[in-house]
Amino acid sequence: MGPHHPSTHGVFRMDVVLDGETVVKLKPVFGYLHRNHEKIAEGTTYLSSMPYTDRLDYFCSLTNNWAYALSVEKLAGIEVPERAEYMRVILAELTRLQNHACLIGFLVMDMGALGTPLMYAFREREKVLDLFEELTGARMMCNFMRFGGCRVDFP
C-alpha cells in the first residue's frame, strides 16, 4: 500500500495482492527506519540508546521512551516503583491526547476543511506540550524515561 511521500516519517510498507477488493496476500515490510536507530543501537550501550528513541516518532517521543525502558527493564529484571508507573501512564495519556488532536486536525484538513480546524487541534496540542516543557524542559523529544523510573518527579 502506498505510495508514501519521502517526507513522511517512519512509514510502514505492506506489499498487498488483491482480488478485486479482497486481500489475498499481505506481506509487511519492516526494516530500518530512515533514522537508522536499530543500526546505531548495535554499537551503543542500553543507556546511551535512550535518546534515540525520542526521535523515532516526534509526536510520541515519551511513549517510545517508555517502550524501550520497559524492554530493558524486563531483560534486566529491574523493578519500577509504583509512583513512577503512575507518572509514566499519565505522560503516555497526555502523549496520546496531543497525538490524537493532531490526527483529527490532519484528518479534517485532508477531507477539505483547510486551515482553521488544524489550528484548533494545534492549539489543544500546545497545552499538552506546555506541560511537557514544564516537567522535562523540552516540548518534544523529552528524553524523560529512565530504566527503573523517570528522570525527575512531578512538581
> Is 115 inside any structural domain?
yes
> Is 32 inside any structural domain?
no
What is the pTM for the complete model shown? Answer: 0.73
> Is 66 inside any structural domain?
yes
Domain count within the chain = 1
> Is 52 inside any structural domain?
yes
> Is 18 inside any structural domain?
no
Report pLDDT for 110.
Answer: 76
> Is 119 inside any structural domain?
yes
Q: For 17-48, what is each residue's pLDDT tens digit?
A: 999 999 999 887 765 555 677 788 888 999 88
> Is 86 inside any structural domain?
yes
Contacts 24+ apart (CB under 8 A), 120-128: 124/97, 124/98, 125/98, 125/101, 128/94, 128/95, 128/97, 128/98, 128/101
Report pLDDT for 19.
Answer: 95
> Is 100 inside any structural domain?
yes
Read off the pLDDT band of 91 (50, 70, 90).
Answer: very high
Domain that holds residue 70: 40-150
